[in-house]
Chain A
Amino acid sequence: MLPVSYSVRNVVARPGRSLMSASVIALVVIACSLFLGLIASLKRTVSSSGDPMNLVVMRKGSENDGASWLPLAAFQAIRFFDGIARDAADQPLASPELVVQPFFHTHAGGRENVLVRGVEPVALAVHNIVKITEGRMFTPSTHEAVVGRGVVGRYVGTTLGSDLAFGHGTWKVVGILDADGSSFESEVWIDVRELAYDARRPSPYSGARLRAASAADLEPLMRRIDADPRYALHAQRETEYYAKQSESADSLYILVIGIAVLAGIGAGFGASNTMYAAVQARTAEIGTLRALGFSRAAILTAFELEALALSAVGFAIGAASAVGLSRLIGYLLGGIAFGAATSTTNVIMLKVTTSDLLGALVLALAIGICGGLAPAWRAAHLRPIDALHKA
């Protein structure tokens, strides 16, 4: 068996050529992990909004809060159902909410739909993930608003202390909302009654979020809401609801996998070329090794290892650049806007995580193994006598 250092040294021995192939692999790694990171960030942003103890109540048949409505009487009825957690004052943790998608204007003059959620103060107790990190929560009926971290500065009037105009009115921004990177950070929260009036909604709520007292209460509560004959309502787990909302990102995976495979094959060709050249340049050396008694398997392994080492170097360069590039994009663009299922804008922070890099690593190694196989095979099957002859 040839020592591993033989393969590694061969990579280093021709730094120019090795670097060239490694760069190609690195570029593919960057492209692949950036794309994977984008989709994963998108999914994470949406799906992390759900709390396992919370239920979403909407009109039967609605896909999202934006398209649902909930009569006042229905909310008053379900609010006191058994199994809903209570706060210190023994009030149920049931948050009636109204979702409207008004235009917000960007500084560049464009407009985007932003999800404005009308809530009551109880919302903060129901949505555990949401914290007011700067300023304070709005006071109902005073035309105050809190804005998500992702929205801050993105639109005209979305900074702390400024006047934010949308719909028919103007709200004073008194707080910034932090939600652990989830999609609540792309929202603006105001008093639910103010929003219902502003949007001229006949029914004040679009849905409700309930916090269950215990995990065991979730199922019976959902069954009771669904079965109530007075109102055609449907309750589902918040985690499930947001998982469904993030499903539309799944079809993007097909695109990314397609791109990764195509780019991977291309890079594999490049790696193959380099390895063929390496084999050709070292014909005499291979002949000598064979003459010395190294087996075909040993030669094959040595060349495969060389190709793998090459792709490992490429991966290392690519992974480091991808992480750096994602930070740079985040720094330059702030956050990436993406259309959400409610046709509002989700601002996501692009982050390339370990699992995205793992996907890219698999691709890089596949490029190395497949690209190196044919040249390694050729090296292993050189007849020693011919190889020495050529030299």
Chain B
Amino acid sequence: MKYLGLVLANLRRNKLRTVLTGGAIMLAVVLVCLLLTMPAGLDALLNNIANNTRISVHNKGGVVYTMPYSFTRKVRQVDGVLAATATMWFGGAFEEDGRVSFPNFAVEAEYVGAVYPDYNIPAEQLADFQRYRDGAIVGRQTMHKYNWKIGDRITLRSTVWPVNLDLRIVGEMPSDRSPLLWLNWTYLDESLKAHGYRGLGIANVIWVRARDPNRVNAIMRTIDDLSRNSDAETACETEKSYFANFFGSLQGFLTIVLIVTALVALCIVFIAANTASMGVRERARELAVLKAIGFGRRVIFGTLLAEAIALSTVAGSSGVMLAIGLTRVLKASTGWNPALGPLGSFMVTAPVIVQGLFLSLFVGMLAGVVPSFGAARKPVVQTLHEVF
């Protein structure tokens, strides 16, 4: 502790360099954190969304291959199934230019609440969803994006089905990260019939909630057995596996992101090492004098190291802070992006913060150790000789 003054004085000696080095480390930590939020966001999404009692039932051939809607009833009767709802992609676009800007599905209002209790939708809103055929429950992210309130009326133009639906927002999924919109299965079914088409009759995915997490595998087997040799054989998956597969095609992009992150991190190490070694070289004379008057190697090594660590810790923490601020801005400005999917949710999670701080600390150590080690070990006579 008594050398703290020396360390601080050394940091203040060349303020410009300290600021430049600290700034470089800070920016790099911001970058690394921002990039790491992409895979971290995906992980967090998989862990959060994926409930260990929820099962997806879909056609073995793919989600677009659909199943008869009536299969939902059979699934509900399987022992251990608490609730099940058929879902169908509506592909509704709200905006004029016709893009689907948030995912929206038709679900069965009377069952959906029991399948997704973890979405924490208030009971009276779920009751309204059942009561009003044209009701819709919307995720908070989308509510904020369009400034919608409960009670608002909106029109979604389907890009898949030949109907437009007028909806009344009756509930909100209270999660900032939820872009979803649910509409009533019967409403879509009847609208199709009213336009002279066959009704829905089919489902993309049937979401099932098991009573007991230990029985999930048995239930999945039973459901698959039920559909065996039918025209629509099913493949059950846990919710986690479903989403992991769904986002599997992003792996390649993630690899590139991680390569770039590694490059940027390497970049910081270079900058910091460069500067630290310059600082030590410049101070060679002073260090020799310190040694000559009796300061030990360890003390010199320690103070130099402490200097590097102090700088990188301060820079690293401000970098993490800046990253948190920036992700807020990014999140507000981008919203749901079909190309990025869950990567666009830019979440600074606790592991990301820890990784960012660890990185800056590591840089501080590495950049401090090499030159300090050399400086502390150099014989006094040689250094003084070089200087004078």
* Selected contact of B271 from candidates A61, A110, A269, A325, CB within 8 Å: A269
Determine if B20 and A273 form an interchain contact, defined as CB atoms under 8 angstroms apart: yes
Question: Which residue, B17, B64, B91, B100, has most C-beta atoms of chain A within 10 A?
Answer: B64
A266, B28: Cβ atoms under 8 Å? yes
B268 close to A (CB within 8 Å) = yes
B302 at the interface (CB under 8 A from A): no
Interface residues contributed by chain A, number (CB under 8 Å):
67
A20 within 8 A of B: yes
Chain A window 261-304, contacts with chain B (Cβ cutoff 8 Å), 1 for yes, 0 for no: 01101110110111011001000000000000000000000000
Q: How far is the CA of A20 from the CA of B264 in the complex (A)?
A: 14
Give the contacts of A221-254 with B (CB-CB under 8 A): 232, 248-249, 251-252, 254
Give 1 or 0 for each of B226-250: 1 = CB within 8 Å of chain A CB: 0000010000000000001100111
Tell me which of A20, A198, A269, A339 contacts B24 (CB under 8 A). Answer: A269
Per the bound structure, the CA–CA distance linking A38 and B253 in Å amounts to 8
Q: Which residues of A contact B250 (CB under 8 A)?
A: 337-339
Interface residues of B in 294-341 (CB under 8 A from A): 330, 334, 337-341
Known contacts A101-B62, A111-B248, A333-B255, A62 near B270 by CB under 8 Å: no
Contact (Cβ within 8 A) A100 B256: no
Whether B267 contacts A111 by the Cβ 8 Å rule is: no
Q: Are A167 and B65 in contact (CB under 8 A)?
A: yes
Contact partners of B35 in chain A: CB under 8 A: 259
Given contacts A34-B259, A263-B264, contact A337 B245 (CB under 8 A): no
- Structural contact, B339 and A251, CB atoms closer than 8 A: yes
Question: Could you say which of A25-33, A78-86, A118-126, A211-219 contacts chain B?
Answer: A25-33
Contacting residue for B249 out of A168, A277, A345, CB 8 A = A345
Taking the nearest CB of chain A, how far is it from the CB of B177, in angstroms? 18
Residues from chain A with Cβ under 8 Å of B5 in the complex:
none
Identify B17's interface contact among A21, A202, A276, CB under 8 A: A276
Q: Does B275 contact A (CB under 8 A)?
A: yes
- Which B-chain residue is minimally distant from A269 (CB atoms)? B24
List of A residues within 8 angstroms of B151 by Cβ: none
A336 within 8 A of B: yes
Identify the closest chain B residue to A256 (Cβ). Answer: B260
Q: Which B residues are in CB contact (< 8 Å) with A166? A: 61-62
* Complex alpha-carbon distance, A270 and B302, angstroms: 25
The CA-CA distance from A167 to B66 in the complex, in Å, is: 11
Q: How far is the CA of A341 from the CA of B136 in the complex (A)?
A: 25
Q: Indicate the member of A62, A166, A266 with the most B CB atoms within 10 Å.
A: A266
Say yes or no: is B141 at the interface (Cβ < 8 Å to chain A).
Answer: no
A140 lies within 8 A of chain B by Cβ:
no
B27 and A62 form a contact (CB under 8 A): no
Contacts of A200 in B (CB 8 A): 65-66, 231
Q: Size range of the interface on B?
A: 35 or more
The reply to whether the CB of A51 lies closer than 8 angstroms to some CB of chain B is no
Tell which of A17, A35, A333 touches B260, judged by Cβ atoms closer than 8 Å.
A35
Asked if B159 lies at the interface with its beta carbon under 8 angstroms from chain A, I say yes
Taken together as a complex, chains A and B put the C-alpha atoms of A265 and B28 apart, in Å, by 9
B271 cross-chain contacts in A, Cβ below 8 A? 24, 266-267, 269-270, 273
A336 is contacted by which of B16, B24, B98, B252 (Cβ under 8 Å)?
Answer: B252
B249 and A27: CB pair below 8 A? no
Inside 8 A of A266's CB, which chain B residues have their CB? 23-24, 27-28, 31, 264, 267-268, 271
Complex alpha-carbon distance, A277 and B16, angstroms: 11
Interface string of A307-347 (1 = CB under 8 A from B): 00000000000000000010001000101111101010100
Check B339–A339 contact: CB distance below 8 A.
yes
Could you say which of A263, A273, A335 contacts B275, with CB atoms under 8 Å apart?
Answer: A273
Distance between A78 CB and nearest chain B CB, rounded to angstroms: 18
Within 8 A of A (CB), among B1-52: 16-17, 20-21, 23-24, 27-28, 30-31, 34-35
B162 at the interface (CB under 8 A from A): yes
B252 pairs with A27, CB closer than 8 A: no
CB A103 to nearest CB in B, in angstroms, measures 4
Report if A10 contacts B (CB, 8 A).
no
Say if the beta carbon of B263 comes within 8 Å of chain A: yes
Task: Report the nearest B residue to A322, measured CB to CB.
Answer: B263
**Interface flag for A4 (CB, 8 Å):** no
B97 to chain A, nearest CB (A): 10
B175 within 8 Å of A (CB atoms): no
- Asked if A376 is at the interface of the complex by the 8 Å CB criterion, the answer is no
User: What 11 additional pairs, Cβ within 8 angstroms, besides A38-B256, A248-B339, A259-B35?
Assistant: A24-B274, A28-B264, A63-B98, A103-B60, A198-B61, A251-B337, A254-B334, A259-B34, A265-B23, A265-B27, A267-B271
17 inter-chain pairs at a CB distance below 8 angstroms, sorted by A residue, are A17-B274, A24-B271, A34-B260, A100-B65, A106-B248, A110-B245, A112-B245, A113-B62, A113-B249, A168-B231, A232-B162, A251-B334, A251-B339, A259-B34, A263-B28, A269-B27, A273-B274
Name the 4 nearest CB pairs between A and B, nearest first. Answer: A336-B252, A248-B339, A266-B27, A270-B271
